[in-house]
Amino acid sequence: MSESLPTAKNTGGGTPKAAPLTGAGGEDVPKATAGQDRPELQQAIQAIVDAGFLGVQARVNDEQGEWAGSAGRRKLGQNAKPPANGRFRIGSSTKPFVATLVLQLVARGKIELDGPVADYLPAFELDRGITARMLLQHTSGLYSYTGEFRVDGSVEPGIPAGGADWADARFTTYRPEELVRFGLSKGPRFEPGERWSYSNTGYTLAQLLIEEVTGHSLAEEMKLRILGPLKLRDTVLPGSSPELPRPYSHGYFRYQDAAGKGKVIDVTRQNPSMTAAAGDMISTTEDLATFFSALNRGELLPAELLTEMRRTDPRSAGPFGGYGLGTYVQDLGPDCGTVLHHNGSTAGGYVSVLYGTPDGRTTLAASITYGDAAPDLAEAFPKARDNLLTKVFGGGQAGPADEAKPTR
């Protein structure tokens, strides 16, 4: 399987994209990485594979330039490495894109950030205390339709989002309105603005809000406002299509069937409509890095709204930092400073990693795929991931693996 990368182009202030070269292992390698010797980064992504994952592809842009590499395997039963710039499912790394679109509409006077969402979407009969800010910051109190964590840490199931139920339903098509109504049917978890609780329902409502005020589908508006201007040609909103454009690494899902027998299935093809705007996008490390750099450089939002995006709710403070509007803000310590980030995962197969500095000059984008092993998500993986963050940003800890949780 060959990899094709775009020819060089400038993204309006971000790092120029480079044409491909063919590496010794047959994978395509961006020109910007040719001749660079970054063994510490290669060792860091290999440590993630050693922690039990099938493969990793990663891209770093910093003061040394651009580096991209991969480790592990592209597919079970084969020895080929993951493509250096393959497509992958980015899960909740979709949320910064959606939050950016909403804030662009705020800048244009189409949405009031602190006004009732019910004024725009009356059919859902929402509590008038719920605002666009609350949808983006997870303070709306809306039940997350993919499931919720109980006080004891167990999961209250929503629509099939894990285990054998999801394996059996992974090609089911859901409409955004259906997902929202399911979440609303469970009743609120708390009064609007009272607490913080991660909710995919809020971001699917944000999709419907965008579509209502623009008259365009989310995919059309995303292409018009973000993907087109930044020339992110390898980023797509797939809707209900189960296909993953080539080149890609395969993702796998482990679960127990009704008889208690362990199974591993290839879930590269899956219908992503289950998460809609909460996590359905497909991208590459190059496109993610370009987007996050442009966002943090102030190329997509006015300064005052970028400030609002980074203003965290103190009740969200935890091992990942605090949550702003579609992005976490975290202090990695005196040797590194502040980073913005939003990792993500699909119900099966893929984990995405997206970090950047507030000035947009340093970014880390990566995709991690599950294979047939059971990686230690409590200890081994966080250690390996934090080692990579140390190599890129200079120090600090990133906390437990949020991307391993089913409602993310």
Residue 13 has pLDDT above 60, yes or no: no
Q: Which of 303, 332, 327, 304 is nearest to 316 (CA)?
A: 327
Q: What is the DSSP string of 207-226?
A: HHHHHHHHSS-HHHHHIIII
CB-CB contact of 191 with 154 (8 Å): no
Query: Are the C-beta atoms of residues 51 and 380 closer than 8 Å to each other?
Result: yes
Q: Give residue-wise pLDDT tens across range 344-393.
A: 999 999 999 999 999 999 999 999 999 999 898 888 888 998 899 999 99
Of the candidates 75, 92, 23, 404, the one whose C-alpha atom is nearest the C-alpha of residue 275 is: 92
Residue 22 — left, alpha, or beta (φ > 0 → left; ψ -120 to 50 → alpha)? beta
In the beta sheet, which residues pair with residue 153? none
pLDDT in tens, 65-110: 999 999 999 999 999 999 999 999 999 999 999 999 999 999 999 9
If you search the block for the tokens 């502040």, which residue do you land on?
A: 338
Which residue segments constitute the domains of the chain, with CATH numbers given? 20-404 (3.40.710.10)
Averaged pLDDT, 393-397: 62
- Asked if residue 6 has pLDDT above 50, the reply is no
What is the bridge-based pairing of β-strands 28-30 and 328-331?
unpaired
Asked if 212 contacts 121 with a C-beta cutoff of 8 angstroms, the reply is yes
Distance of CA 109 to CAs 85, 104, 115, 204, Å? 37, 9, 12, 21
For residue 378, what are its two tokens?
A: 């409590």
Residues whose CB falls within 8 Å of the CB of residue 238, separated by 6 or more in sequence, listed in order: 272, 280, 281, 282
Residue 188 has pLDDT above 80, yes or no: yes
Least confident among 154-158, 229-233, 304-308 = 154-158
Q: To the nearest whole number, what is the mean pLDDT of the chain?
A: 88
pLDDT on residue 336: 81
pLDDT at res. 358: 97
pLDDT at 402: 39
Nearest to 33 by CA among 78, 70, 75, 87: 70
- Report which of 317, 309, 382 is spatially closest to residue 343, judged by C-alpha positions: 382
Query: CB 77: neighbour CB atoms within 10 A?
Result: 7
* φ, ψ (nearest 5 deg) of residue 202: -60, -40
pLDDT at 399 over 80: no
